[in-house]
Amino acid sequence: MNYRILLVGLGQLGSRYLQGIEQYRSLIGELVILEPLDKAYEQGISLLSPSNVIQGDWISRQGINNLKGEFDLAIIATPSSPRPKIVAQIIRRVNVRSWILEKVLGTSLQAIRKLCSDIGSTPAWVNTPRRLTSLYNSIKTKLPQDAIEFTVRSRSFALGCNSIHFIDTVEWLTNEPLVSIEIEALSDWYDSKRSGYKEFDGRLVALYASGSRLVIDNICDGLDEGIDLLAKGRHLTIDETRGFFEFGKLVPGRVEYQSELSGRLVQYILKRGECSLPTLNESARQHRSFLGALNRSPRLMSHGKGSLPIT
């Protein structure tokens, strides 16, 4: 069967999806790309192997108003702010059998509610992909059935953009539902690397149903940086490029690049109708807790009509 895929956004992340999809070219009947910027489109296409660029009839670039028919999978790799609106526009024009959505899902609680309502019961997953990596799958097999303390200390960590990755990872590692998040902001919003979006400095603490705890800190001393996991009688020091250390011994593994993960992810969804990512409903619950914590911070509470400047 030759599947039909819609890829929306061909920036940094969208290009990585394209590289992954290329590995499973034999499955794809048509890949439709929505990318309004010529430069982004050209840069993304340039990452394809020469043979697939030459035999480019399987790829078409379209505008949203020209979409027709049915897609087996839609991948929404846009920034957060326009994502709910784009999804709604797609749903009005075509039938989509399944979705992959990038995080952050939306910039307000209202936007996330609308996204979930529009997609409804259609299978949909959110790309917080540490669940797919060799490193974290190896760690999951080693953990005892006890609460854990998971700590991320990095002065370069983008709390607004990337906290949801670890919020989801700890929930998956422990099989404990997220209970609450508190944020101590030690700066106001400042411009992030992504144009039009902002970041902040501080500390996030997430609590889970059976007592596990996640701490993310980007104001730490440089000598204290790293990722650590404490469980009953165990201490794992995590290096996401190499593996994890326990009792001085390295257990190999890594967080693979998105381009390495996305092809297999797309194949699983197309052929099996499932994958290991959190469902939209699961991730939306995590996002609501995270956005709620941001809105409770006097320094970070919503701009305008409940909107937060994160992507």
CATH number of the domain enclosing 214: 3.30.360.10
189 shares its domain with 246: yes
d(Cα 269, Cα 123) in Å, to the nearest integer?
Answer: 9
CATH number of residue 70's parent domain: 3.40.50.720
31 shares its domain with 180: no
For the segment 255-285, what is each residue's pLDDT rounded down to a tens digit?
999 999 999 999 999 999 999 999 999 999 9
Q: Is residue 166 part of a domain?
A: yes
Q: Is residue 266 part of a domain?
A: yes
Which of 304, 289, 291 is closest to 106 using CA atoms?
A: 291
End-to-end C-alpha distance for the chain, whole angstroms: 35
| Amino acid at the residue 150 | F
Query: What is the predicted pLDDT for the residue at 168?
Result: 98
105 shares its domain with 156: no
Domain count, the chain: 2
Segments forming the whole domain that contains residue 24: 3-127+260-277
245 shares its domain with 214: yes
Q: Is residue 304 part of a domain?
A: no
Query: What is the predicted pLDDT for the residue at 307?
Result: 85
55 shares its domain with 90: yes
d(Cα 242, Cα 250) in Å, to the nearest integer?
Answer: 8
Question: Can you list the residues of the chain whose pLDDT is less than 70?
Answer: 51-56, 302-305
d(Cα 308, Cα 224) in Å, to the nearest integer?
Answer: 30
d(Cα 136, Cα 244) in Å, to the nearest integer?
Answer: 9
Query: What is the predicted pLDDT for the residue at 195?
Result: 84
Domain boundary among 236, 252, 268: 252
- What pTM does this model have? 0.94
Q: Is residue 300 part of a domain?
A: no
Q: Copy the structure tokens of residue 219.
A: 């104001």
Query: What is the predicted pLDDT for the residue at 302?
Result: 64
Q: Residue 87: is the preceding peptide bond cis (ω within 30°)?
A: no
Query: What is the predicted pLDDT for the residue at 220?
Result: 86
197 shares its domain with 270: no
